[in-house]
């Protein structure tokens, strides 16, 4: 319902004076991310401009003049009343007056570059201009992966270049087919800067593999589970879960067990069990079990802080806020922002806090009764019937066998995504996706979901005005010790499912997972290393 309404709101009907434009941004001096954030804020503050969507953030090798630092690039989609020449003046004002760019020479280093790439008038017609100070579409866009890759996250795959009348996506695939390392991009997820002052990012690299599908080739991230709940400490002593020194010992153990084989480790701290039908700890109890621990970890100078990424597993916005203030980098919310109406407004205030957007149906007590995905094509299951291509869906990966199943999950996740990005203004660069194994899914559905990880990455729907896709969004899978494994190997004791979990983790990586969430760090650290060696041609 909301989706359709917002579509009408942003749909620039002929009478409205709203044009659509796509601007490419780039920076390769000093704190590049800070320049990007400032430029976006200045665009959004302009009364004649409204930011509709911002792409992922990428790092790219300098093109043309190579003897300079790598660039941070992306694309922003805006509504604007300004004609192209006035929009150009705003971009130049932001570059030179507001952000004090000093242009040394063409293609040289810059604090910020804002280029108009594409412009559509209020009848959705592309504008073509060829004047000395302004050429639209940008004359060099079709040779630049650092423009095309972020751009195709924001436009339907069928959108044609206004002059050549060829799909813009086809130019990107053509560049990639030449396999020039200089054209490859790192997808970055910005994280808070620690005392060391070094900028921190999660980094992912995708390549088009032999079967013409885009696959992640960079190392898988390992997320170790540090639950501080009564049922979480294996030694059975009741109050151990509250013993901070014991928890810190476990953090040191995780570090020792992972950093010999991996560059960093994500530690997911959970103070409130989210097992189906589990009793939910009161919020004060959840705070008591987690926030002091985060402080102590961040204050522990014997830990390699730059290699430790902290995540809090909570669906409560108050806990998330306190965890961010205590030094956490990632909010891991199994509810996709549906359990606490303030979650997205908290996360949207921190541009460099990552957010794991998970799929679920219902709540902890009802989700298990909502796990029927058979023969529901996503659109029929939604309230809005498909009338025009507004809700047209694409799956780039034609090979995915059960389209309907993954389209249903994809469609439902795209509604959470729209709520986060379209309504609450989180930025796409913050988002990690998690289809939620075991959450409103039982038995075989979980196995099918793991098999379809790749197809989920290619899910997209919508049109030029309102387009949602999951391209370049990392996917986290959390299969560790779960009931669907226990069911298949007939093992009721969760702690005896680690060997089978290793097998599943390897398969998750083979099917496209970028982050895996596991209990047994020591064994899975080796398993993940092996799976990367087997499945990722980095
Ligand atoms: N990787 C990368 N290389 C670059 N080389 C030149 C220009 C100059 O672009 P312009 O012709 O639009 O000024 N911009 C970039 C950039 O943003 N990223
Ligand atoms: N992102 C994410 N977080 C999670 N938190 C808890 C559980 C429940 O499992 P546990 O109680 O064994 O940790 N599973 C997930 C998951 O699959 N994904």
- The ligand placed nearest to the CA atom of residue 182 is 1
User: Which residue's alpha carbon is nearest to atom 9 within ligand 2?
Assistant: 275
Q: Angle formed by the axes of helices 283-299 and 244-258, to 10°?
A: 50
Confidence of residue 238 (pLDDT cuts 50, 70, 90): low
Residue 397 has pLDDT above 50, yes or no: no
- At residue 103, does pLDDT exceed 90? no
- Percentage of residues in the chain having pLDDT higher than 90: 76
Pairing of strands 19-27, 71-80: antiparallel
- Tell me, in angstroms, the distance from the centre of ligand 1 to residue 113's CA: 8
Ligand 2, atom 6, residue with closest C-alpha: 274
Cα 25 to ligand 1 centroid, rounded to whole Å? 9
Structure-token pair, residue 460: 């997209």
309-356 tens-digit pLDDT: 999 999 999 999 999 999 999 999 999 999 999 999 999 999 999 999
**What is the per-residue pLDDT across 355-381, written as a single tens digit (0 to 9) for each?**
999 999 998 888 888 888 875 554 444
**Mean pLDDT on 191-197:** 92
Average pLDDT, integer, range 84-101: 94
With the most atoms of ligand 2 within 8 angstroms of its CB, the residue from 222, 232, 274 to mutate is 274
**pLDDT per residue over 501-529, tens digit each?**
999 999 999 999 999 999 999 999 999 99
ipTM for this prediction: 0.93
**Residues near ligand 2 (Cβ within 6 A):** 225, 227, 273-275, 313, 332, 334, 356, 358, 434, 436-437, 476, 478, 481, 517
* pLDDT confidence tier of residue 6, bands split at 50, 70 and 90: very low
Query: Residue 514: which of 502, 501, 503, 505 has the closest Cα?
Result: 505
Q: Ligand 2 centre from 478 Cα, in Å?
A: 6
Q: 108: CA distance to ligand 1 center in Å?
A: 8
Greater confidence (103 vs 84) lies with: 84
Residues in Cβ contact with 230 at an 8 Å cutoff, skipping those fewer than 6 apart: 238, 241
Q: Is 416 exposed, middle or buried (0-12, 13-18, 19+ CB in 10 A)?
A: buried
**What does the pLDDT read at residue 12?**
36
Does any ligand 1 atom lie closer than 6 A to the CB of residue 408? no
Looking at the predicted structure, is the pLDDT value of residue 26 above 90? yes
- Which tens digit of pLDDT belongs to each residue from 468-483? 999 999 999 999 999 9
Q: Which atom of ligand 2 is nearest to the CA of 436?
A: 17
| Strands (DSSP E) found in 213-337 | 214-216, 221-227, 265-270, 308-313, 330-333
Task: List the residue whose alpha carbon is closest to atom 5 of ligand 1.
Answer: 63
Tokens of 382: 């939604």
- Ligand 2 atom closest to Cα of 434? 1
Average pLDDT over residues 167-196: 95
Per-residue model confidence as pLDDT tens digits over 405-444: 888 999 999 999 999 999 999 999 999 999 999 999 988 8
For residue 321, the tally of other CB atoms under 10 A from its CB is 17
Ligand 2 nearest-atom number relative to CA 438: 17
Distance 193 CA to ligand 1 centre (A): 26
Instruction: State the Cα–Cα distance between residues 18 and 23, nearest whole angstrom.
Output: 16
Q: Is 26 in the pocket of ligand 1 (CB under 6 A)?
A: yes
Mutate to test the pocket of ligand 1, among 22, 25, 39, 71 (most ligand atoms within 8 A of CB): 71
> What pLDDT is recorded for position 367?
87
Which one of the ligands is nearest to 441 CA?
A: 2
């Amino acid at each position: 319902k909301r989706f359709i309404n917002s579509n009408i709101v942003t749909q620039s009907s002929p009478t409205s004076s709203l044009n659509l434009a796509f601007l490419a941004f780039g920076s390769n001096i000093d704190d590049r991310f800070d320049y990007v954030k400032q430029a976006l804020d200045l665009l959004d503050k302009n009364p004649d401009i409204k930011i509709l969507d911002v792409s992922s953030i990428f790092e790219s090798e300098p093109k043309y003049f190579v003897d300079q630092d790598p660039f941070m690039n992306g694309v922003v989609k805006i509504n604007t009343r300004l004609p192209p020449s006035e929009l150009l003046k705003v971009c130049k004002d932001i570059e030179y007056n507001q952000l004090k760019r000093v242009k040394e020479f063409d293609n040289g280093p810059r604090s910020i570059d804002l280029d108009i790439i594409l412009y559509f008038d209020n009848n959705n017609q592309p504008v073509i201009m060829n004047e000395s100070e302004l050429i639209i579409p940008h004359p060099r866009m079709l040779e630049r992966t650092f423009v095309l890759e972020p751009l195709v996250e924001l436009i339907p795959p069928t959108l044609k270049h206004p002059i050549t009348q060829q799909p813009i996506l086809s130019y990107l695939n053509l560049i990639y087919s030449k396999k020039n390392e200089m054209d490859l991009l790192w997808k970055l997820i910005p994280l808070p800067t620690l005392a060391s002052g070094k900028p921190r990012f999660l980094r992912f690299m995708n390549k088009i593999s032999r079967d013409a599908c885009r696959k992640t080739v960079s190392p898988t991230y390992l997320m170790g589970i540090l639950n501080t709940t009564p049922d979480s400490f294996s030694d059975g002593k009741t109050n151990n879960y509250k013993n901070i020194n014991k928890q810190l010992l476990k953090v040191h153990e995780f570090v020792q067990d992972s950093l010999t084989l991996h560059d960093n480790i994500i530690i997911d701290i959970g103070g409130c069990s989210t097992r189906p039908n589990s009793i939910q700890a009161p919020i004060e109890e959840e705070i008591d079990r987690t926030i002091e621990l985060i402080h102590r970890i961040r204050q522990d100078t014997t830990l390699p802080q730059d290699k430790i990424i902290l995540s809090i597993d909570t669906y409560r916005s108050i806990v998330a806020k306190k965890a961010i203030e205590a030094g956490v980098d990632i909010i891991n919310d199994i509810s996709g922002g549906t359990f606490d109406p303030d979650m997205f407004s908290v996360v949207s205030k921190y541009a460099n806090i990552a957010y794991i957007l998970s799929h679920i149906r219902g709540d902890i007590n009802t989700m298990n009764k909502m796990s029927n995905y058979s023969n529901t094509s996503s659109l029929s299951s939604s309230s809005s019937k498909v009338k025009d291509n507004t809700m047209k869906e694409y799956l780039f990966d034609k090979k995915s066998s059960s389209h309907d199943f993954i389209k249903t999950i994809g469609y439902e996740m795209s509604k959470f995504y729209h709520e986060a990005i379209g309504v609450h203004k989180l930025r796409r660069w913050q988002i990690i996706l998690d289809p939620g194994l075991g959450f409103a899914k039982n038995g075989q559905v979980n196995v099918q979901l793991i098999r379809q990880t790749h197809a989920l990455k290619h899910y997209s729907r919508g049109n030029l005005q309102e387009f949602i896709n999951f391209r370049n969004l990392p996917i986290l899978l959390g299969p560790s010790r779960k009931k669907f494994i226990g069911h298949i190997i007939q093992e009721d004791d969760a702690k005896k499912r680690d060997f089978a979990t290793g097998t599943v983790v390897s398969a998750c990586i083979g099917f496209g997972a970028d982050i895996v969430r596991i209990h047994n760090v020591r064994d899975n650290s080796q398993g993940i290393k092996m799976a990367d060696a087997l499945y990722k041609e980095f």
